[in-house]
Structure 1
């Protein structure tokens, strides 16, 4: 156990140093203009970070899941313009289904959390020529840059994992979130060989995958809020107004206390969701910590962005300052994999289903 903890800490420290040393303002600016940061991704891939959730027997690190998920928090804190979280989840899905995990940036087709008219899981049909797959996927993170996409499809009443390689889809719609991260609509219709389709691991379905994705966005938000706090504390300590640093004013101190509280709450919620991720990925069913964490991190993101920009003033919106690269991601991530309203409904439904006698056990178990 000690050796694993030591290895995990070394990996996390190395990841922090990598982003601090290699992720420059120019790379962030170019990424938002549509340039893929190939050199930065190569460094991340060389470290093996996308395989952090993959077991050793499948070619990964075999890290404790909670420790591996700390990498998502680090990437969020750095505002890294890379699909690290999405690659980690895609690699875990493919390895769990016994499919080959290819090199290069990976992503997943976000599942349909709540069926609506015109949106459904892709169609998967088995015939003598292989697997016929057809359908669309909306707002796929970094779809245009991905070497492969992992998605879920139903066949004969069972969920399957499908691997699409670059060239298997066409970009139906190019898009970006307000942070400039690609979110593309994909369209596909093709026949796949047996080595590209396999039954999903036990317990994995669209709802669970949606919860796993929400956990990753929550962890990224927690990291970004912590960095926003650090930037704000540093700025108000250096910025002098009326002959003294801003940090000496009582109103500023009060806002900093609120911001610090939000960062702590988001971090604690994300830690709980990471533990729930480990259970869900092993076939568990505890979705309540995920719902609570995504809501709490989303709330913290909104409050943190407001206070940070108020403290920084106009400079926080300039291209030369890093603050807006974090706050725009926070505003984007809180709406992905279910916004606050979506997860509030999930919490309400869980509480209502538990009833009066089951509410306290439900809350304390989470």
Structure 2
């Protein structure tokens, strides 16, 4: 089955489940509980439908899909503000399956260890995860959060986790690139969230009346909407290309481009939406803030745009340096041939 067809099928299934089970009320309840037990009914439904094993090889009991075939589902996670690390868990289960390790069935987060504090990591979704794959300078480890100290950050579900060595299990060297995989998953969910922010903003300005016509009819508003639409579209395309680079030699640079684009667009889309919606947008009752708060937080997860811009720039310099060296080598060979023939 072609990837586009499978992506469409998964997207439709994910949208249907999330529309029914991941309502704004559910998101608010999970964020308010800030507890590992929150959202378990929703999690069990996603797991039972096979979404979380989509990337696991078929011989290991999964669907054996490439990440590119699940991009639409990742967008759906973001567009419904899913308050659980489903995208992280999909990647984590694949990594563990390929390493021959049985994955925990609960939510698994992806994290990077604090280089200056051993046994400490900033963990997106840390308050609702049961385990994490954390990458250090020495390699990756699977860590149970049951015995860890978990400290939340503000109103988000992210946490700083301090874990004892007994809770950590070293993973084979094949489990690597956790940071770039986390960045890629985050970029894809951010793209879905930005699309929802744009749709909500468009609906608001078209419904809101001013001077006898909807706000959406004013040229200044239309210009601002077009700017938002450009950022949303660019982020979506970058995320799709990033997912297509999964498990290829271009994975790191593809993830870098996707995350840099998403992080750069996040404040522009969030702030632009709030500028158009006005004071209504920052109220707790209005759903817009469920997405914009998370976009601001996700901008910095696994590295901001400046970090990933450096990665992209270094890759470009290395690439063209190699090209230039090859060209010089050709001319040197031609000179030698000419000298020899003379």
TM-score (norm: length of structure 2): 0.86
Match of 1:174 among 151, 171, 180: 151
Superposed counterparts of 1:331-350, under 5 Å: 331-350=296-315
Q: Check whether the contact 1:305–1:327 (CA below 8 A) recurs between aligned residues.
A: yes
Which has the larger strand fraction?
1
Superposed counterparts of 1:295-334, under 5 Å: 295-334=260-299
Match of 2:210 among 219, 241, 254: 241
* Residue 100 (structure 2) aligns with: 98
Superposed counterparts of 1:60-79, under 5 Å: 60-79=62-81
Superposed counterparts of 1:25-40, under 5 Å: 25-33=24-32, 34-35=34-35, 36-40=38-42
Q: Check whether the contact 1:86–1:141 (CA below 8 A) recurs between aligned residues.
A: no
Q: Check whether the contact 1:143–1:186 (CA below 8 A) recurs between aligned residues.
A: no
In the TM superposition, residue 332 of structure 1 has moved relative to its aligned partner by 0.8
Mark the runs of 5 or more structure 2 residues left unpaired by the alignment. Answer: 327-342
Q: Indicate how the Cα distance of structure 1 residues 275 and 318 shifts in structure 2: closer, same or farther if over 3 A, else same.
A: same
* Residue 9 (structure 1) aligns with: 8
Aligned residues: 322
Q: Check whether the contact 2:110–2:124 (CA below 8 A) recurs between aligned residues.
A: yes
CA deviation map 1:307-357 (0-9, x unaligned): 110111111111221111111111111100111111122223223334567
TM-score (norm: length of structure 1): 0.80
Match of 2:242 among 269, 273, 278: 273
Q: Indicate how the Cα distance of structure 1 residues 145 and 323 shifts in structure 2: closer, same or farther if over 3 A, else same.
A: closer
In the TM superposition, residue 103 of structure 1 has moved relative to its aligned partner by 1.4
* Residue 133 (structure 2) aligns with: 150
In the TM superposition, residue 191 of structure 1 has moved relative to its aligned partner by 7.8
Measure the CA separation in 1 of the matches of 2:65 and 2:312: 31
CA deviation map 1:174-198 (0-9, x unaligned): 02365x2232312112287xxx554
CA deviation map 1:70-121 (0-9, x unaligned): 3221101111111111211211221121101221212233256xxx5x24xx
Q: Indicate how the Cα distance of structure 1 residues 212 and 230 shifts in structure 2: closer, same or farther if over 3 A, else same.
A: same
Superposed counterparts of 1:172-321, under 5 Å: 173-176=150-153, 180-190=156-166, 197-201=170-174, 204-205=175-176, 208-279=177-248, 284-321=249-286
Measure the CA separation in 2 of the matches of 1:258 and 1:152: 37
Mark the runs of 5 or more structure 1 residues left unpaired by the alignment. Answer: 120-134, 362-366
In the TM superposition, residue 170 of structure 1 has moved relative to its aligned partner by 1.8
CA deviation map 1:7-49 (0-9, x unaligned): 5432221110111111223222222222512221122122122
Measure the CA separation in 1 of the matches of 2:136 and 2:262: 30
CA deviation map 1:130-160 (0-9, x unaligned): xxxxx413122333433332234677xxx4x
Q: CA RMSD in A?
A: 2.4
CA deviation map 1:282-328 (0-9, x unaligned): xx255323222211111221211121101111111112211111111
Q: Check whether the contact 2:256–2:309 (CA below 8 A) recurs between aligned residues.
A: yes
Measure the CA separation in 1 of the matches of 2:321 and 2:144: 49
Say yes or no: does 1:163 pair with 2:163: no
Larger CA Rg, structure 1 vs 2 = 2
Measure the CA separation in 1 of the matches of 2:127 and 2:173: 25
Q: Check whether the contact 1:53–1:62 (CA below 8 A) recurs between aligned residues.
A: yes
In the TM superposition, residue 69 of structure 1 has moved relative to its aligned partner by 3.5
Q: Check whether the contact 2:10–2:72 (CA below 8 A) recurs between aligned residues.
A: no
